[in-house]
Every structure is written in C-alpha cells, then in structure tokens.
A and B are shown apart, each in its own frame.
Chain A
C-alpha cells in the first residue's frame, strides 16, 4: 500500500524519508514540486498526483507536506486518513508537529513510523499502544537514559494489541482518578450582506481526558440526545447501547482523545450571537475608500463574547489602509492583502469599531465588490445547540 513517505517543508527541502518496501528515489518528489508550483497557494496542491510510475498522495499539516508514494490501487482516503494519524501522533508525542520537533526526535519518529506501518499496511495506530512500545520523550527520561543507558523502547508486547480493547493500555494506575470532558461546539454560518443567515449549522465534539485506574467502564447520557443529528464515535463506544438507549457507554483509552463528534441538524434555527454593521465603499476616481465596521453582541444569553477576530481579504487594488480601532489592534499585510483585527472581548456598553481610509492603487479601476468578512469568536460555558 504505502510505499514511502517524504516529509517536505515549505521551502521544498525533503528533511525525512522512510521506505517500507524497496527504496524510491527522492526524485519522485519533483512531480510534487511541479504540482506545487502550479497551484498558487499551498492549500490548492491536489492531494492526489499521478506520475508515470507512482501515485503521490499528500497532506499539508502544520507547514509540512507529508507526501506518500503509492504504487498500486488503494483508497485515497485510506492514505490521507493515515497520514493525518501520523501527524496526530507526532503532535501527541512532541507537543507540536513542526519541522524542528521532528528533526530533534528523528530516531523516535523513525521508530514510530516503523511500528505504524508494516510493508505499507497500518499496524499499530492507537496512541495507547504506541506509547507502550515507544515511550514519548520527556526531559527527565532523556537525562535518565543518558546516564543509565536504558532505552525508550518497551520490551513487552502491548496487551492492548491482543485484547478486544486495543485502544486501552493495561495496568494503568493513578493516585487521583479524574475524568474531564470538554464539549466544544462550533457554529458555521454564512451570512449575506443584509445580515440574514444563508446557512448555519452546529458541529460539536466531546474531547476527553481520562485518568482512571484499571479498566473503567463509563456511561455518559445526554439531556436531549435527539438534538444530535449525526454522530461519529471513537471505536471504544458501544454502538448498540447508543442505538437502543442513546447512552454513550465505553471503556476509555488512557489520556486525551476525541470521544465523539456530532452535528446538530440544521433544521433548528441557529441564533448567531454577534452582528456586524459594515460600511465599506470605494469612491470612483479618487483612489481611496472608506471602511467602517462595528461588531456587537446579540442574544448572548448573559455570556460574554470573547476572542473575537475579524479577517478580511481585501481586493487586489488596495495598497494600504489607515484605520483606527476603538478596541484591540489591527494589522494589514500589503502582500497578501489580508486585514486582521484582533478585537478581544466585546462589552455591550462600548461596541468595538474599526474605521478609516483605504488607499487604492492609483489608476486602477475601483473594486467591484466589497470583500467578505470572516469573524471568529468564542463563548465559554455555552452550548449553542442547547443540548
């Protein structure tokens, strides 16, 4: 299946390669670079590239391209999903999935890749199993290892590998038994010029951090499970129980993991907790324009709206912007033409406002359309679905 893997950074250096079958020359990546050049920005590089002898399937994560070489038919999602799992594992082990982290831990990376695939077929991808095979690096352990000469590699077969519960390692012990669940819900909405919602849906996840000894068997029930329109589960959840009783019953993995992700049906009307008043205009023949945006909260259910960030892709003709913000700070990148306004918290008494002058290229025709505004914000302690 997966023949080889190349890790490539943004400047086009191949900084790691691993082969599971016979060696494929680095030159195969030239096809990838070609495609990368053709696509103007990184996110438009096609994930699947066909070359005369191989197929290249790649993902882009944290400024690294994971390029895998395939020789025969394989479901592309299989490879993509696996590559993301690899990136997740690096993240899990080193705290970040960056080029420096990988280079600093190249031996562990290699050992991990060796365990994760055998002959190109995934072997162990559960983080609990991998952590038993290869212990993640910590400062303490690296000191101990350099003194005692002991290794990061476990010498026993992870029991999870053999059991019906491969995601949990055996013999877990904690002095404080704790379990945390984070419910994170995201609204995704498209709002038109006049402020009416074109489309909105709620996506949620429950992330868990379980530190319990032994083999805990947990159940989690919901006040209103019918809200959850479509759910995907971590393999630990007993599907039958959910089907019959709408209760999440599971033996959790040890540590952090995503328990479920769900979608709340879009039939329910979603109340968007913020509104935006905007006034953007470009004057004909004066090579300047006005920009005035105000953000305000609405129906915030007594919770404060925080972490508000607005990003705007301005038209190409825009040279510079002279703005004043009543709150937070703004930056404008003249190369990418992206305006970012970091607002912070919204207080209803004093609404944040950003206004000023837009300088256009002289002689250029005025931009036809106003740019679209992207607004991100957070509300703590509020489940927007009401579930």
Chain B
C-alpha cells in the first residue's frame, strides 16, 4: 500500500519540529511553487474512491492541524468527503470542518445539507453528532437552521440528543446573541428534563446564556437537588455553583444572629471557647429582638444533598461543595468541609495551590475549622516554593495563643531552609504572628533581632523590614535594637532594608541622639551610589535631624539636599525642593515652616500586618476571580443574603400524577435502580421524553385520571425521599383539590387562609396568616400572568397558612365552618385512603357525591385490568405505555397476559388497552417502525381502523424480548400523530410455567449447580407466613408454575424462559422463625439474579 510509507515519513517529520512540510513531499518543487503543489498528493488521495487512502490523507491533515500548520487550502477537497461512509474518515472530516469553517464560510455551507439529513437519522448517535458538528460550525448564515435544529433536538426522545442540544445552546448564543429569548425558552424546557444526563449540560447553558434568570430555577430547584448525586461530576460542579448563587437570593442567612456581633468582636476571637461564649451571648441578646431563625426546608435539602459529594474523587466537586457550605451553611456545620479540603492537599501540586488559596481565605473567617488539622499544613522540604508560601499563610492565619509556641518552633526550622524566598516569607509570617498575638511579641522580636546577625543578607534585610514594623508599635523600649540596626547600615546592601533602617533612625532619632547624625554623615558620603528608595529615606532622615538637632546636622542636611537637587531621578529632585522649602526658614517661606516639626514627627499609626487573603471571600470561593483577587470576565457576583426571605412556595412543583404510575415504579425497581443513592426520586432516563403539560386545565384532567394505585406508590416514594419533601408534596396535593374552588372565589388570600383552620384557633394561625399577607402581592402578580402560574400562587397561600407540622395537626381537628369541612374531609381521605379523588375542572363545587366519584374511579380502574385474562392471580399489574397527556387524549396501557402468544411460542404476549379520551374519532391506530434491539422481534397487533371517542379497545401483540429486560421501542401511530413508546418487561414475565414432577425437578436442579445457582436469605414478614400468600406472591412476581413437593416447609416452582427455553427453578425453603432461603437455578444468571431480587421484594411486601 502506497499510503503507509508516506505516513511513516510524515511521522518522522513530526518528531523533528519546525521542519518545513514540503520537505517530505516529492511533488513539491521549490519554496515558491510549494504553496500550489505541496498538497497535491493529499488531494489525490482524498479524491480516490478507496476509503483507506482517504483515511490516510485525513490522518495526515489532522496531524498538520494538531501542529498548528495551515491546511486551509485543502478545504474543497476535504469537504467533499463529509458524506463518506467510513465513520473514522467522517469524524476526521468533522474535525477539519469545525476548525476551518469559520475561514471558508461559503464552502462550509456545502456541507450543511449532510448534517440536516443527519438530524433526521434514526440512530441517536448520528443525530447527536450531526447536531454537534452543525452547531460547532461558526457561520452566521446558518443561525436559523441551528435554532431550528436545537429546538427539535430539545424534544428528542433520546436524552443523549437532548444533552447535545443543551451543549449547542451556548454555541449558538456566542454566534448570535440576538437569539437569547428563543434560547431561553429552550433552556426552560430542558431545565424541566428529569434525566441526569441532561441536567449538568443545561445548567451550564443556563450559566452562559441567562445566569440572571434565577426565576427559571424555582420550579426545578428540588429536582436538581435530588438528581445532583447521580449527575456526572462536571455537571455537579456547575450545578452546585449555580445553586450557591440561587440559595443566596432565596434563603435567609443562617448566621444572621451572630453576624451582627461578629463584626465588632472579630479581632478578639482567638480561642474557640471564647468564641462560643460570645456566640451564646450574642444569641441571647438577639433572641430578644429577633424571632428565632428557622431554616427553610429547601435550604436544608441543598445542604444535605451536597454533603456526600465531599467524598467525590474529583477535586473540583469537593471544592464546589466546600464553597457552598462556606457560603450557605450555619456556622456550626461548616466544619465538615475541612477534612475533605485537607485530603485534597495530597493531590497534584496545582490542586494544592488552588485549595490552599481557598483555605487561606476560609481560615481568616473561620479559624476554628482548620485548627485540628494544623499539622497537615506543615511544610515539607519537597514542596514547591509557591505551595510553601501558601501553607505559611494558612499557618499564620491559624496561629492563636494556644498553638503559637508550636507554630513558632516550626517557623524556626523554616528559617534555616535553603529556599531564600521561603525564608523571607517565614520572617514576614513571624512578624504577623507578633502583631496579632501580643503575648509573643517580645519573643518574636528577640528572635528576629538574632536573625540580624545571620550571614545571609536576604534574611537580615527581611528581618529589618519586619522589625521596623514591629518597633513602630512600641518604640520607647527598643532603643537598643535601633542602635544595633544602625550599625548594620555598613553591611546591609539590600535597598529596602537600608531604607527601613534609615526611616527607623529618623523616626526615633530622639531615642538615639548620638548615633543618628553619624549615620547621616555616612549616608551623605555614599549618597550618590544609593538606590532611589534609600536616597529618599536619606533626605527624610536629614530633614528630621535638622528639625530636632539642627546644630549638628545643619550642614550635612544642606549637603544632602544639594546632592539631591541634581539627582537624575525627578522624584528625588522634587522631594529635595519640597523639603528645603519646608524646613529651612527663609523670608519667602510661609506659615507652614512653623509646623514643619509637627508635620514630620507626628505620631504615625502602627502598620497593621494583615493577610493578603483578608476579605477575599466577597468573591465566591473556588472561582477564578477569587484566585486572581480580581473580577474575571463573566463572573457572577455572589449576592448578599436577603433581609426577608422571598416567597418559598415558588419552588413548589405541581406533581404530575401520571409520572408516578405503576409502570414507572416498576421500571425503577427493576432496571434503572438509582445507583448511587437509594433514595433519590426522579431519574428515569425515558421519562422525560414526554413533555410536561403546561396549562392549568390540562393538569386537572390529568390528575383526575390517575389510578388508584398511583397514590400509594407516590406516598412510598415520598417517604423514601425527605421528610420535608413529602410534606411539601402533600400540601401540593391538597392544593390541587382546593384549586377549582378557589378559582371561583377569585383567590382572595385572606379568605383562604381563614378557611384552612377553624376561627377559634386564630391565635395559632396568626403567624401563618402574616406570612400569607406578605406573599399576597407576589401571588396576585402570578394570577395575572398565566394559568400555569396560577397553581403556584394558590400553593403559596397554603404553605403560608399551614407551615409547620402543627398546622397539619390543626387541620385534622373538627372544623366548624361548612366550607372547611369539605376540605378537611378531603385531606383525611388523602391521608388514609389510597385513591385521592381528583375533581374535574368543570365542576365548580365539590359535591357531596364525592364518595360515589371515588367508587367510580376505583371501578374504572379495575375494569381496566382484564380479569378474564388473569384467572390465577388476583391482580395483574398494568403499566402505562402512553399517558393521556402525552398522547393528546389517547391513553394506552399494557399488561402481560401470561398467555402463550398465538403463532409464535417465543414471544411474550402483551395485552394492550387503548382508550380514546379525545372528542374526535381516532383512526388507523397501528404500530409503526418497530426498532427492536439486536435479535428482538415484534409482532404488531392488527391495525385498529377507528376508535370512537370514549371507547376502549384491547389488542394483543407479541414481543420476543430475547430473554433480556431491554425495552422494546416502537412507534404508535394514528392517522394524525405518532408517539414513541417502549415496553419494558419485568424479568418475571420473560418466562412461562412448566410442569414437572418432584424427581424431574431435583434432577434438573442437580445439573444447574455452581455458577448457575443463586442463594439468598430473607425474612418473611408476618403476613407472608401462610402457604397461600407465599405461593401467591411468588407467582405474581414471576410467571412460574408450582411443582409438587414432599416437604411441608419447601415450595418449588419451575418455568422456562420464553425465547431460549432455559429452565428456571425456584426453591423457597422456610427455616425456623421467619427466615427463609431462596434458591434459583438457571443457566441464565442474569435472569436468576434479577428474579431473586424481584421475588424477595414481592415477599417482603
């Protein structure tokens, strides 16, 4: 093959960098012709019809791009291959296209149609990659096409495509910011998506396009909190940072009581005990004035759900959680992050660098947090200097009266280090410790003075500078030190140190009256050779001496000023002129002369040595801006806590009842068990394919159709979730029931809050009512907006009125007014009976026929389950295929009839129940384009010609699932619409019962030992002790037949998988007490494992 040696050569070229490209090209003639000819061979290869040649050419081109060489002249030749069949060629063409499309816009347009075709491809990977490349081509003309593609992809069935759509949003926005409004709509839609895959990407898009639209988050806040742990790590970082900002606008400061006093007493805090005492006092003081702070449950939810992420392996996630806790958590809880941050100090040095910067800022505000980890910040001799200096910063911040001696001992070691920059930083750190902690000031000063005799000039110089600052605090006692330093002027050459010494002598010349003029004499001698800062200080010294001791120093001063007059530096000349005028009395000089002494020898405030990290926390921690201590482009300010909490009810979400149908629950248990956490709620990847209903009226109808079993499962779910959440949702349900009525009353707020409780309990009610009033204006605004908003406003009133658990209890008490009695009965029903009766929107008043309504609902529900087909089992579970909301009035449910499918024994029969809830006839109902996974087969049901409004039809279709629980996907078509649906079988439905004798059973079981055997122990709950219930539970969980058995404490079942006919043998042995052992023998291990879980679950219920 001709291409491979050529490529080999190319590689050789790439390793010797900078060599010209044409050197390897046999076709090229000279330097001047090379531009025209050098890529001829590549063009030829690209034009050939062999994929391997094309691939070779593309590889060489990509290698050129990678090295930053210009390959733009190949554009026409490359773009032709955009539709190439070979997937690697195609990918490399995409790489090329994205790189050069901006430069060759006209030619790039040639490729657009290929991507538009790709957007319609049945393969989700191709749809996604087409959208990805299309949106990456930065050609302004195609903005409308991109917009359209994004909108379409945002409602794609595949979450992967929707994720790609979310990625495309910022791309389009950077290309044309005029599209913002439309893009926000798409973002809003994608924010409602319930898959973890999309969540991170869409929040990223939100942050780039419309970070100010915090209102879009309200409805999705709880969902994001709950999904967080299952989102991929990069998404977690973005979401946590966004939620930090959100929480700052929506909740009250958890430390509001302390924060007031903290400001005044901050400096006094050294020990944590002291701090606690003060806190206690502060609380006591503020208790009188303020009402006690109660954390918003949503605030708590965020803190609770982010905490486990401190254990992430990704340093960025840990940092994100740490900053969230630092900015949002109550003081007492912030401590948890210290441990995780200290752990990061073991990571790469770049990570350490960033973490230490943040720790430095945190340790100023919350010293106590890191004190237990003091030793973790000790410096290792192998640390890079920049890390050492940051650690030193942290150590200094952590120093207090109790640990200062340990820290100083450690500092003593550091001073002997060979790294001079680090030594200098250590000396400064000692200075800071000395200023902050009065107790050790003298010790530090003595230590520093000893350093003055150090042989290293840098050390001495740095010490001088620090000593100067320390001496300023109490100069009187230290004339000895000043004398000592005066002697140093002969040896020290570092300008800063010389300048410091001169300043000190000048400032305290009264303490050293004999030495000072002598120093000036020496300095005058060497004046011309000094650095500028030293010269300035010499002038300064001269002036001060002239004022205090003019007899000895008059001439010297004149001399120095004359020298300075002709200095090269204008600052020095300027200063000399200024000082001469000021101090030397002449006839011209004005009134200032008299005050010269006061001007020069005024008391100067001692400098405050403080950390460069002080007050950096006004930047969001962990951000680039914080690191640079300057606002970076695109930085979003971290808002201050609000004084009054905004309406918390905006986060209440209408729980769409239908998402909680049994099928969903089933699927969740069987297939996509929430992996990381056991409790999070809505992470169904397929769930969000259907769009959420927006208008209020639709929602009413949806809620009325919810089955009796649905509310059961819902409540279970809630319990699993958080306590707060379940409360919220209960409230929401109440609200839904109340709503129609309230609409009639035109939502008068006061009336509502009154009606919720009985009038006799008004005192208790007071607080709630107050809240309600506060919210009133917001609520009204909502009313004016859209009907979907209506829901939230009515909720707001309720959570205002019945906040807290006492309110709930209150509502159970016998009511006095008639209006409330109905609602309370509703509530009770909601609490104690499974099916929540949902009022129909048209009926304005809940009639007394509520009970009959209820019966009606349950009746229809059971009639949906075809009793005919399930003779042996009390309940066959029905699953939802198409909800009536998603199906625009067409509701489809399915169940596994457990009958052999006529015509093909390898198929599972699926009974499908279609009901037409629209007011028009539905025609030509059929299955279209089944897209089975490999090996899966679908036998469609015969087309239903027409289905009259209100009618229900039942058909059977067969699916060969290939013994896997993978979903079968297909389209359900009517004459107008088509719906993507999928059927996911529980593992128990993938088999059919077989009947065998005990001996046969034992024989077969003997063959299926070892790997094929799965044994699990379980506890049988009390109600599941009887033979009958055990058999019933097992047979309801799986389609198996019972095998007779000699022993009374053993139950045996047998079945064969439908497709492959592999045996599945189940043995349940009851042991003493309520324990039991479940054994499943099957060569299909996956089925066996899943079945064990299902059966155990069925028995546990």
Contact = CB atoms under 8 A, between A and B. Distances in A.
Interface of A: 1, 13-19, 21-23, 26, 39, 41, 43-44, 46-48, 50, 55, 58-61, 70-78, 80-82, 84, 100, 103-104, 106-107, 109-111, 114, 118-119, 121-123, 125, 146, 149, 151-153, 155-157, 161-166, 188, 190, 192, 198-199, 201, 203, 214-215, 229-235, 237-240, 243, 251, 258, 261, 263, 266, 313, 315-316, 365, 368-369, 371-372, 374
B672 A163 contact: yes
B382 A71 contact: no
A81 B132 contact: no
B384 interface: yes
Contact of A119 (B87, B170, B314): B170
Given A231-B311, A239-B677, A240-B678, A114 B15 contact: no
A366 B1056 CA distance: 88
A249 to B, nearest CB: 10
A75 B632 contact: no
A164 B348 contact: no
Interface string B218-230: 0000000000011
B624 interface: yes
Contacts of A47: 350, 353-354
Given A15-B17, A44-B384, A258 B678 contact: no
Contacts of B455: 365, 368
A293 B55 CA distance: 61
Nearest to A25: B68
Interface string B66-87: 1110000000000000000011
14 contacts: A16-B66, A47-B353, A48-B354, A75-B319, A103-B11, A106-B66, A110-B62, A111-B91, A118-B164, A190-B378, A198-B378, A230-B343, A232-B312, A234-B313
A155 to B, nearest CB: 5
Given A77-B354, A146-B4, A239-B311, A374 B382 contact: yes
User: Which 8 A/B pairs are nearest by Cβ-Cβ distance?
Assistant: A151-B88, A72-B634, A149-B52, A157-B125, A369-B416, A43-B384, A47-B350, A122-B234
Given A109-B66, A164-B674, A229 B350 contact: no
A288 B459 CA distance: 25
A75 B624 contact: yes
Contacts of A21: 138, 174
B323 to A, nearest CB: 9
Which among B50, B68, B380, B679 has the greatest number of chain A C-beta atoms within 10 A? B68
Interface stretch (B196-204, B707-715, B879-887): B196-204
Given A75-B622, A230-B343, A369-B416, 18 more contacts: A13-B17, A13-B18, A16-B67, A41-B384, A80-B351, A107-B59, A110-B65, A125-B233, A151-B89, A162-B158, A162-B685, A164-B672, A164-B683, A203-B346, A231-B311, A240-B678, A316-B418, A372-B381
Contacts of A81: 314-316, 351
B635 interface: yes
Q: Interface range on chain B: under 10, 10 to 19, 20 to 34, or 35 or more?
A: 35 or more
B232 interface: yes
Given A110-B95, A119-B171, A371-B418, A75 B237 contact: yes
Contacts of B168: 119
A230 B339 contact: yes
B86 A151 contact: yes
Contact of B350 (A80, A237, A261): A80
Contact of B624 (A76, A157, A214): A76
A55 B624 contact: yes
A194 to B, nearest CB: 12
A50 B66 contact: no
Interface in B313-328: 313-316, 318-320
Contacts of A163: 672, 685
B170 A235 contact: no
B803 interface: no
Contacts of A214: 1085-1086
A139 to B, nearest CB: 14
The DSSP consensus for interface residues of chain A is mixed
A164 B229 CA distance: 11
The DSSP consensus for interface residues of chain B is helix
Interface string B153-196: 00000111000100110110010000000000000000000001
Given A48-B624, A230-B343, A371-B418, A71 B138 contact: no
Given A119-B136, A146-B4, A190-B380, A368 B416 contact: yes
A233 B313 contact: yes
A153 B91 contact: yes
A103 B384 contact: no
B721 interface: no
Interface string B580-616: 0000000000000000000000000000000000000
Nearest to A198: B378
B88 A152 contact: yes
B701 to A, nearest CB: 32
A155 B52 CA distance: 17
A347 B343 CA distance: 35
B623 interface: yes
B529 to A, nearest CB: 25
Which among A47, A70, A75, A100 has the greatest number of chain B C-beta atoms within 10 A? A75
A365 B14 CA distance: 51
Contact of A263 (B50, B343, B624): B343
Given A73-B634, A121-B204, A162 B136 contact: no
B15 A192 contact: no
A151 B454 CA distance: 68
Contacts of B88: 151-153
A316 to B, nearest CB: 7
A189 B95 CA distance: 49
A100 B14 CA distance: 10
B676 A238 contact: yes
Nearest to B319: A77
Nearest to A366: B455
A285 B89 CA distance: 73
Contacts of B376: 199, 201, 266
A76 B354 CA distance: 7
A70 B18 CA distance: 27
A121 B67 contact: no
Contacts of A50: 628, 630
Contacts of A70: 624
Contact of A215 (B159, B385, B1086): B1086
A109 B350 CA distance: 23
B308 interface: yes
B62 to A, nearest CB: 5
A165 B675 contact: yes
B1001 to A, nearest CB: 27
A78 B346 contact: no
Contact of A44 (B55, B87, B204, B385): B385
Contacts of A59: 348, 350
A41 B136 CA distance: 39
B627 interface: yes
B308 A118 contact: no
A82 B125 CA distance: 24
B167 A121 contact: yes
B413 interface: yes
A246 to B, nearest CB: 13
A232 to B, nearest CB: 5
Which among B88, B241, B410 has the greatest number of chain A C-beta atoms within 10 A? B88
A76 B95 CA distance: 27
B349 interface: yes
Contacts of B159: 162
Given A47-B354, A162-B685, A374-B381, A233 B623 contact: no
A84 B348 contact: yes
B51 interface: yes
A70 to B, nearest CB: 7
A106 B15 CA distance: 11
Which among A73, A162, A251, A266 has the greatest number of chain B C-beta atoms within 10 A? A73
Contact of B87 (A58, A151, A162, A258): A151
